[in-house]
Amino acid sequence: MRARRAAGDAKHWPGLAFGAAIFFAYVYLPIVILIVLSFNENRVVTVWSGFSLEWYRMAFQNDAILGAAINSLLIATVASVSATILSTLAAVRMATTRFFGQTGMNALIALPITVPEIVPAVATLMFFASLGVTMGLGTVIVAHTVFCIPFAYLPIRARLEGMDPKLAEAAADLFANPRRAFLKVTLPLLMPGILSGLVLAFIISLDDFVTTFFVGGAGSTTLPIYIFGLVRTGVTPEVNAISALMLLVSIALVSLSLFLGRSEHRT
């Protein structure tokens, strides 16, 4: 019978692997080109002449870059930790209770990732300016915390969905009070989800440009803002070096986050 079929295997389609190859080349070649060029000795950044770490050395000796890096780390740390705390509390409650308006609450938490970033960015700018608040590190941290919430919330929520509610019940049966049951049973089991959410929120904050650009002011220059300023005036090898570093940091962190998230399947 098999031989009489019009065309063979459902798993093998002509051209499909080729299409996927084009896709992955399209997605990864620019990243590879950027990283390779960051090691280029030549000052004319797109002509390869030899391997060099010179631009990295220059980037690390540039006070403006170091200052921007410190700002980026500071903002990302405070914003991601705050967002993770808020999200953990909300997620635990949202997963264990049903109440009127819960769908609306889900939509509210997802709002920051639903709307194109430029809109809340300028709205927040007008909001702070109308209140007479000076733009700076503080306003940036607040705005970042808000858009980090859904990124921290979703992995925690996913982890909670996969957890067995019987465990907390068992703890209650063993006379643990709710607080003890939460701290000793739920929280440790939830930890991989919380860490995964924390790392994702951290990356999102670290990489943000649009919100920081509009809500920031003097003294809140982050690495993306610094890079943008340089790119506008022209391409320099130093920009390649910091850009490549930022890509590598994100890739390392997201791998870590997914690794943490995956331990889910083993418990």
Partner 1 sequence: MKAERRRTLANLWLIGPAALAIIVFMVVPLSMMAWISIQSRSYGGGVEWGNLSGEAWLRFLFERELDDSLAWSFNYLAIILRSFWLSLITTVLSLLVGFPTAFFMATRSRKWRTLLVFMVTLPFWTNLLVRNYAWILILRDHGTINGLLLSLGVISEPLPLLHNQFAVAVGLTYSFLPFMVLPIYSSLEKVDLRLVEAAFDLYANRWRVLRRVIIPLAVPGIVAGSILVFIPALGSYVTPELLGGGKTLMIGNLIGHQFGAARNWPFGAALGLFLLALVLIAMTIYVLRGRGAEARS
Q: Which of residues 5-34 bind partner 1 (CB under 8 A)?
A: 5-8, 10-20, 22-24, 26-28, 30-31, 33-34
119 vs 191 by CB, closer to partner 1 = 119
- Which two tokens mark 115? 């709307």
Residues 6+ apart with CB under 8 A from 170: 185
- The CB density around residue 53, as the number of other CB atoms within 10 Å, is 12
Locus of tokens 């962190």: 253
- Which two tokens mark 51? 């391997």
Rounded to a whole number of angstroms, the minimum distance from the CB of residue 261 to partner 1 is 11
Asked if 59 is part of the footprint of partner 1 (rule: CB under 8 A), the reply reads: no
Residues 6+ apart with CB under 8 A from 130: none
Give me the residues paired with residue 40 across strands. Answer: 51
> Among 74, 111, 158, 176, which residue interacts with partner 1 (rule: CB under 8 A)?
111
Rounded to a whole number of angstroms, the minimum distance from the CB of residue 18 to partner 1 is 8
Number of residues that bind partner 1 (CB under 8 A): 90
CA atoms within 13 A on the CB side of 177: 1
Asked if 117 is part of the footprint of partner 1 (rule: CB under 8 A), the reply reads: yes
> Among 69, 76, 78, 120, which residue interacts with partner 1 (rule: CB under 8 A)?
120
Please report, as residue ranges, which positions from 123 to 152 form the binding site for partner 1 (by CB under 8 A): 123-127, 129-130, 142-143, 145-146, 149
Site string for partner 1, 226-265 (x = CB under 8 A): -xx--x---x---xx--x--xx--xx-xxx--x-------
Asked if 115 is part of the footprint of partner 1 (rule: CB under 8 A), the reply reads: yes
16 vs 64 by CB, closer to partner 1 = 16
Rounded to a whole number of angstroms, the minimum distance from the CB of residue 102 to partner 1 is 9
Which residues in 108-135 are b (16+ Cβ under 10 Å) and which e? ebeebeeeebeebbeebbeebeeeeeeb
The residue range among 51-59, 117-125, 160-168, 190-198 that interacts with partner 1, by the rule CB under 8 A, is 117-125
Asked if 68 is part of the footprint of partner 1 (rule: CB under 8 A), the reply reads: no
Q: What is the dihedral of CA 3, 5, 7, 11, to 10 degrees?
A: -90
Rounded to whole angstroms, the Cα distance separating 74 from 26 reads 34
Asked if 193 is part of the footprint of partner 1 (rule: CB under 8 A), the reply reads: no
Rounded to whole angstroms, the Cα distance separating 95 from 183 reads 16
> Among 50, 97, 166, 188, which residue interacts with partner 1 (rule: CB under 8 A)?
97
Rounded to a whole number of angstroms, the minimum distance from the CB of residue 30 to partner 1 is 4
- Which two tokens mark 42? 């030549």
